C-alpha cells in the first residue's frame, strides 16, 4: 500500500509518496507566491495552496497504482490564520507564522491578560507569530471580516477540509494557536473569550494519527484515488518532522540547523518551564514535547560566509577549523532577534573576545559555536524539567557540515545521530497516514522501523569540558548587554 505525506510549507508544498515499509517512491514540490502587502506583513492565498496540492498529488502518483493509495496526512506551517465564511469561501488571505503585524496584540496578551494566566490557560505565552494575536488584530482592524467568520482553521487543515469535507485539526498544530489547553487537550474557554470567538467556529480536535474521514467522492474521482482513502489529521511541521526523524518517546531529541534552529524534545508527560522559555506543545505521537526556537542558525553561517567574507566556498572558509574548545572569540547569533529562551525581538548579534591576532578562521568557528551555544540554552531548559537526554538527531542544512556536527556533539555533550533519509514533515506525515491505516500499531513502531541512522558523532570528554567553560561565559554575555538593545 502507498501513503502520501503533504508538507504545506511557506514557499512550496512538498509531497512524499511512501510505500508501507517506509521506502520513499516519489517526491514532488510545487511552489506558490508569498505576499508582503505592507512592511512586516506576510500572507498567502489558501487557494494557491489548494491548486498546488492538487497538481502535486496528480504528478506524484501519475506512474503508480493509484488504487493502492490508502491514506493521506499532513505536516504544515503552523500558526497561520485561515478564515472561511458561511459559504466556505476564504474571507481574506491567510496571515502567516512569520507575519509581524501583531506586536500590539501580543503585548496586550502578555502584559494585560498576563503571562501567568496565558500559561495557566494554554501552557504558553504569546508570540507575534501565534494565531490568537492575529485574531485580535483582525477583530480590531478588519471588524467586517471578523464578523463573517464561520470556520477558523490552520493552513494544513484547509487542505484536509477541501479533500474530505471534515472540519478538523490535531493537537500538535492547535498547540501553537494559543487557544488550546495543551495539558487537557481541549479548547481553552478563557482564551476563546479573550479573543471573542466561540468553539463552534473551531475545528474538532484529533490525535495526529487519527483518521478524520475519507476522500470526498468528487475528489476521489478527480485524483483517481479510492473513495476509501483515509484523510488523517497530521501535525504541525515541527512535530511531523520529529516523527520523520524518529524523535518519538520519552527524552528523544532532534536538533535542526535550518535557516532558524530548533530543539525538539519529546516527553511522555506534560511539563512547562517556569519562565515559558520553551514552547510546551502536544506531540504527534499522542504525548507532549518541549520546543525551543532560535531565529538564526544556518542563516548566521550564510551571512558570515557570503555577506561578510564574500565567498560561496563554504569548505574553503570553514576548512581551517580544527582545534575545538579553545577559541577566544565568542559570537551571539541573534541576527534576527531571539525567541528561545530570551523572547527578545530587539536582541542582535555580536562578536566578543577579538584581539590583534584574531584570525578569520577563529571568527568563522565562533559563528558555528555561537549557534551551538544558543541551541544549548534551550537544551538546558528541557533538562531542567527532569527530562534525560542521552543523544539527539541532527538535521537541516547545517547538519551537512562535518565540523558543525562535531561542535554540536561536544557543546551538548551527547551523541549526535545523522539520518539516512531526511524528508522532513512530508515523511512524518506519510508515516502518520500509515499508522492510521493500520500498517503500524503506533507512531513509535513506525519510527523504530522506518528511521535509519547512518552515522553517530561521539562527544570527546576533553573537548566537552572546554566547551562547558566557554558556555558558562556565553550565558553571561546576553544579560550583560541586553539593556543596550533598548538604546
Handedness of CA 90, 424, 273, 207 (dihedral sign): positive
Q: Which residues contact 218 (CB under 8 A, 6 or more apart)?
A: none
**Active-site residue flag, 173:** no
- Residue 38 annotated as lining a ligand binding site: no
Buried b (16+ CB within 10 A) or exposed e, 37-46: eeeeebbbbb
The Cα 383–Cα 389 span in angstroms is 7
Q: How many other CB atoms sit within 10 Å of the CB of residue 117? A: 16
Buried b (16+ CB within 10 A) or exposed e, 258-286: bbbbbbbbbbeeebbbeebbbbbbbbbbb
Buried b (16+ CB within 10 A) or exposed e, 437-457: bebbeebbebbeebbeeeeeb
Catalytic residue among 237, 285, 377, 417: 237
All three cell numbers of 482, joined, read: 541586553
Q: How many other CB atoms sit within 10 Å of the CB of residue 170? A: 31
Q: 3-class DSSP state for residue 120?
A: helix
Chain length of the chain: 487
- Residue 78 annotated as lining a ligand binding site: yes
Q: 3-class DSSP state for residue 187?
A: strand
The Cα 405–Cα 455 span in angstroms is 11
DSSP class per residue in 322-346 = ---S----EEE--BTBB-TTT-BTT
- Nearest 5°: phi and psi at 485? -70, -15
Angle at 439 between CA 435 and CA 442, to 5 degrees: 40
Closest alpha carbon to 74 in 185, 166, 209:
209
Say if residues 299 and 309 touch (Cβ distance below 8 Å).
no
Helix (H) or strand (E) holding 478: helix 461-481
DSSP class per residue in 11-29 = SEEEEEEEETTS-EEEEEE
Q: How many other CB atoms sit within 10 Å of the CB of residue 131? A: 26
Return the DSSP state at 4: E
Question: Which residues form the catalytic set?
Answer: 237
Residues tagged in the binding site annotation:
78-79
Residues tagged in the binding site annotation for substrate:
78-79
Amino acid at each position: 500500500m502507498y501513503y502520501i505525506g503533504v508538507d504545506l510549507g511557506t514557499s512550496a508544498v512538498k509531497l512524499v509518496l511512501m510505500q508501507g515499509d517506509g521506502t520513499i517512491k516519489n517526491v514532488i514540490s510545487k511552489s506558490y507566491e508569498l505576499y508582503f502587502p505592507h512592511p512586516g506583513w506576510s500572507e498567502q492565498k489558501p487557494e494557491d495552496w489548494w491548486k498546488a496540492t492538487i497538481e502535486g498529488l496528480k504528478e506524484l502518483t501519475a506512474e503508480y497504482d493509484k488504487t493502492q493509495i490508502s491514506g493521506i496526512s499532513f505536516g504544515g506551517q503552523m500558526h497561520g490564520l485561515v478564515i472561511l465564511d458561511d459559504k466556505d469561501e476564504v474571507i481574506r488571505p491567510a496571515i502567516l507564522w512569520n507575519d509581524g503585524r501583531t506586536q500590539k496584540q501580543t503585548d496586550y496578551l502578555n502584559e494585560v491578560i498576563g503571562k501567568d494566566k496565558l500559561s495557566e490557560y494554554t501552557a504558553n505565552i504569546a508570540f507575534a507569530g501565534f494565531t490568537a494575536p492575529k485574531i485580535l488584530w483582525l477583530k480590531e482592524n478588519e471588524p467586517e471580516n471578523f464578523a463573517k467568520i464561520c470556520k477558523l482553521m490552520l493552513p494544513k487543515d484547509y487542505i484536509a477540509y477541501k479533500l474530505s469535507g471534515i472540519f478538523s485539526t490535531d493537537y500538535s498544530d492547535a498547540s501553537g494557536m494559543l487557544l488550546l489547553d495543551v495539558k487537557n487537550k481541549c479548547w481553552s474557554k478563557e482564551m476563546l473569550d479573550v479573543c471573542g470567538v466561540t468553539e463552534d467556529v473551531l475545528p474538532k480536535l484529533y490525535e495526529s494519527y487519527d483518521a478524520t474521514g475519507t476522500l470526498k467522492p468528487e475528489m476521489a474521482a478527480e485524483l483517481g484515488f479510492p473513495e476509501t482513502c483515509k484523510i488523517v489529521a497530521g501535525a504541525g511541521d515541527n512535530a511531523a518532522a520529529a516523527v520523520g526523524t524518529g524523535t518519538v518517546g520519552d527524552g528523544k531529541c532532534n536538533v535542526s540547523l535550518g535557516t532558524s534552529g530548533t530543539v525538539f524534545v519529546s516527553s511522555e508527560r506534560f511539563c512547562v518551564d517556569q519562565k515559558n522559555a520553551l514552547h510546551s506543545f502536544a506531540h504527534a505521537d499522542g504525548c507532549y514535547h518541549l520546543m525551543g526556537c532560535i531565529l538564526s542558525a544556518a542563516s548566521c553561517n550564510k551571512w558570515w560566509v557570503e555577506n561578510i567574507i564574500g565567498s560561496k566556498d563554504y569548505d574553503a572558509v570553514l576548512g581551517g577549523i580544527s582545534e575545538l574548545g579553545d577559541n577566544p572569540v565568542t559570537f551571539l547569533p541573534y541576527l534576527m532577534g531571539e525567541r528561545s529562551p530570551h523572547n527578545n525581538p530587539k536582541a542582535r548579534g555580536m562578536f566578543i573576545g577579538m584581539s590583534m591576532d584574531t584570525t578569520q578562521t577563529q571568527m568563522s568557528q565562533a559563528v558555528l559555536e555561537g549557534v551551538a551555544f544558543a541551541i544549548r540554552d534551550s537544551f538546558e531548559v528541557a533538562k531542567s524539567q527532569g527530562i534525560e537526554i542521552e543523544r539527539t538527531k541532527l538535521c537541516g542544512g547545517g547538519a551537512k557540515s562535518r565540523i558543525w556536527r562535531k561542535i554540536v556533539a561536544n557543546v551538548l555533550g551527547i551523541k549526535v545521530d545523522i539520518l539516512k533519509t531526511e524528508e522532513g514533515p512530508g515523511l512524518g506525515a506519510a508515516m502518520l497516514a500509515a499508522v492510521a491505516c493500520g500498517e503500524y500499531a503506533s507512531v513509535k513502531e513506525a519510527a523504530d522501523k522506518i528511521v535509519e541512522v547512518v552515522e553517530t558523532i561521539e562527544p570527546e570528554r576533553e573537548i566537552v569540558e572546554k566547551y562547558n567553560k566557554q558556555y558558562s561565559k556565553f550565558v553571561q554575555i546576553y544579560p550583560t548587554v541586553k539593556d543596550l538593545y533598548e538604546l
